């Protein structure tokens, strides 16, 4: 950061080492303002959220943009998280102990089924993909690590919705409902959660993208925590009733092994193959 951008507290080794560097803390305030804004923001909005004068906020944004932590749209002039920030976030999620242990099981699941596999953790705004491995069966999608999944229309989201406390999922569900084309009523959502808990899995067909189906299962840690969810993704044309039943067994077996690795017993397996097929056919 340039000398004329320095703030009080930027001193060197003199004084208490715990004092820190005020300019770094201010820069983090700007980044947190962007994060809490949930989308691209104007300079005025960022300055207000950071409790800074616009000129001061702009200096920080310029420096943050130089190192890729912030980006500015050429067309709208709005600011958002930059590529370096996305890489840091994805790498931070990848290094989580639970995710690292569980991810060791994904290649075997991919190789046994031939389908794409993914691992997701819970983030501030819903399920976040932290690992994605393509299988030998081609898919009409390109998925990036760090993508956030919807709660109701994705199998991963439904597993989190069924097993996490409503205090955690409620705000995310309400936020996503504002932009969803087809919403479910409270009674339908409770029924959906009960079915996922009963069957031990969630199955969706075309919920996130037409022509793509998914089977997901919870991976439990110690003290009944739900650190990750594992899922298989395949073309809907291949998601026949027998195929979904077999894939459900593979996913739940893998989830059980992951759970054991994390210090807990196996999740409840699906009760019957016809239930998984019925759930898939009922997707919106």
Query: pLDDT tens digit string along 120-138?
Result: 999 888 999 988 889 999 8
User: Scanning the structure block, which residue is given the tokens 């715990």?
Assistant: 18
- Short-list 74, 79, 84, CA closest to 60: 79
The pTM assigned to this predicted structure is 0.63
Q: In Å, how far from its chain's centre is CA 104?
A: 19
3-class secondary structure, 117: strand
Query: pLDDT tens digit string along 185-222?
Result: 888 999 999 999 999 999 999 878 888 999 999 998 87
Q: What is the pLDDT of residue 141?
A: 77
Helix (H) or strand (E) run with residue 71 in it: strand 70-72
Q: What letter does residue 237 receive in the DSSP assignment? A: G
| Domains, the chain, with CATH or none | 3-81 (1.10.10.10), 90-281 (3.30.450.40)
Distance CA 108, CA 103 (A): 10
Residue 212's DSSP bridge partners are: 235
Helix (H) or strand (E) run with residue 230 in it: strand 228-235
């Amino acid at each position: 950061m340039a000398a004329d951008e320095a703030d009080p507290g930027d001193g060197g080794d003199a004084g208490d080492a715990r004092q820190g560097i005020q300019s770094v803390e201010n820069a983090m305030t700007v980044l947190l303002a962007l994060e809490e804004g949930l989308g691209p923001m104007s300079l005025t909005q960022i300055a207000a959220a950071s409790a800074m004068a616009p000129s001061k906020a702009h200096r920080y944004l310029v420096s943050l943009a130089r190192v890729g932590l912030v980006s500015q749209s050429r067309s709208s002039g709005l600011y958002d998280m930059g590529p370096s920030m996305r890489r840091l976030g994805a790498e931070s999620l990848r290094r989580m102990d639970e995710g690292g242990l569980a991810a060791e099981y994904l290649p075997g699941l991919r190789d046994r089924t031939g389908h794409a596999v993914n691992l997701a953790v819970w983030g501030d705004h819903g399920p976040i993909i932290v690992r994605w491995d393509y299988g030998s069966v081609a898919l009409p999608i390109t998925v990036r690590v760090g993508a956030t999944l919807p709660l109701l229309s994705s199998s991963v989201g439904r597993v989190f919705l069924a097993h996490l406390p409503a205090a955690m999922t409620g705000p995310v569900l309400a936020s996503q409902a504002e932009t969803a084309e087809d919403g479910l009523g409270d009674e339908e959502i409770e029924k959906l959660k009960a079915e996922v808990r009963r069957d031990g899995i969630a199955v969706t067909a075309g919920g996130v993208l037409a022509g793509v189906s998914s089977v997901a299962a919870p991976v439990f840690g110690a003290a009944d925590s739900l650190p990750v969810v594992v899922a298989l993704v395949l073309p809907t044309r291949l998601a026949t009733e027998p195929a979904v039943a077999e894939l459900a067994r593979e996913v739940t077996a893998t989830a059980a092994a992951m759970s054991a690795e994390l210090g807990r017993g196996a999740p409840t397996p699906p009760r019957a193959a016809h239930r998984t097929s019925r759930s898939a056919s009922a997707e919106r």
